Amino acid sequence: MEAAGALGPAMAISCYRAMERVGHMAGHIIAAQLSIWSVNSPFVVSWIGAATLLFVLVYILPPGGKSATSN
């Protein structure tokens, strides 16, 4: 929030959109490169799915390791 205040709302949104677009392109490039390196092995899809699942689990875990429902 401090960075957005220093940059201003328009610049902060522009930076966010630029990073989002780079991330969207990078995902496809990484998936394609993995597919090329593995000679179109079906295991690449499994590894990408496993990595996605890992990132989802890390994202939904609350900071500090405590459950969101505990007091």
Alpha carbon 50 to chain centroid, angstroms: 14
Residue 65 lies in a domain: no
Q: How many domains does the chain have?
A: 1
**Residue-wise pLDDT tens digits, 7-62:** 788 888 888 899 999 989 998 898 888 888 888 788 888 888 899 899 999 989 87
Residue 71 lies in a domain: no
Compute how many other C-beta atoms are within 10 angstroms of the C-beta atom of residue 14: 12
Range of the domain at 16: 2-60
Confidence bin at 66 (pLDDT 50/70/90): low
CB 7 within 8 A of CB 15: yes
Is-above-0.85 flag for pTM?
no
* Maximum distance among all Cα pairs of the chain, rounded to whole angstroms: 50
Buried b (16+ CB within 10 A) or exposed e, 40-57: eeeebeeeeeeeeeeeee
